[in-house]
Structure 1
């Protein structure tokens, strides 16, 4: 089976908790899942549209401050061009809209945001971000299990 899921963890790994998205993407890459491609990037850039166009599902992972109640949030995304795609402040919805505009298709998408409190220069994440990372990995694993089960049912 071809890779069906693209995971993009983004953020600045030299700004403490801001790097949690990259850490999550790297950990998922280490799982060695045959249907998942996982990228750790500093920021969302327009060139990612070409990659996204070849996947059925995209999961974007980023740090947030402050998050609602310091909970890991998982929400579905739709493409929208109302947001800009400029540097790290780029919004995944804009990247999806760009993918749709160029390739006539964009994958179903989820946005996982992990709470952080320390965005100062550094390479260590706070306990809050580390706890959020563990929760996010479980939530992403559940999404991947659902995709796997759906693909298995389609093959039957």
Structure 2
């Protein structure tokens, strides 16, 4: 049985680099991988917990404004310990906690954040975000390959 992987790219695609998460999710959707589903959303909302309930691995993708280094950051995530959803939007850890609370299941989770420098109204992506996008896609492929290698079923040893 194939394991399901979900990529959720989020951010405001009308605020230039802030939309890089959605752009990455849309690109991954175009790959046509049978076990990888991809969502491009404006923000993380509680209804996403339903999608996570049937997922083994989730990769959240978002933009961030760097302070000193312009690195694509990869971070493993756990559900928020002090889960409290306030309003209609949330962060990845709160969505994981909600999924755990509602469905008794929390997928393995990663957070990929891409540096951006232009968060003004517009749809043009800066060169920093464009470079970050390319690096993020490589890192996401590495996460997918690692997951696939972990999930490979070892056939029973018929020579025992």
TM-score category (smaller protein): over 0.9
Distance 1:67 1:85 in 2: 27
Tell me the matched-pair count.
Answer: 154
Distance 2:74 2:134 in 1: 14
TM-score, normalised via structure 2 length: 0.90
2:42 equivalent to 1:42: yes
Q: Contact 2:23–2:40 (CA<8 Å) still a contact in 1?
A: yes
Q: Contact 2:83–2:97 (CA<8 Å) still a contact in 1?
A: no
Q: Contact 2:6–2:37 (CA<8 Å) still a contact in 1?
A: yes
Unaligned runs of 5+ in 1: none
TM-score, normalised via structure 1 length: 0.92
Match of residue 97 from structure 1: 97
Q: Aligned-residue CA RMSD in angstroms?
A: 1.6
Match of residue 76 from structure 2: 76
Distance 2:54 2:37 in 1: 11
Distance 1:137 1:106 in 2: 24
Distance 1:113 1:83 in 2: 23
When you count helix as a share of all residues, which structure comes out higher? 1
Once the two structures are TM-superposed, the CA of residue 86 in structure 1 deviates from its matched residue by 4.4
Relative distance call for 1:54 and 1:68 in structure 2 (3 A) is farther
Match of residue 136 from structure 2: 136
Match of residue 114 from structure 1: 114
| Matched residue SS, 2:69 | helix
4+ residue stretches of structure 1 with deviation over 6 A? none
Match of residue 18 from structure 2: 18
2:17 equivalent to 1:6: no
Distance 1:85 1:36 in 2: 30
Unaligned runs of 5+ in 2: 156-160
2:126 equivalent to 1:126: yes
Q: Contact 2:83–2:98 (CA<8 Å) still a contact in 1?
A: no
Relative distance call for 1:28 and 1:150 in structure 2 (3 A) is same
- Asked which structure has the greater CA Rg, the reply is 2
Distance 2:45 2:133 in 1: 23
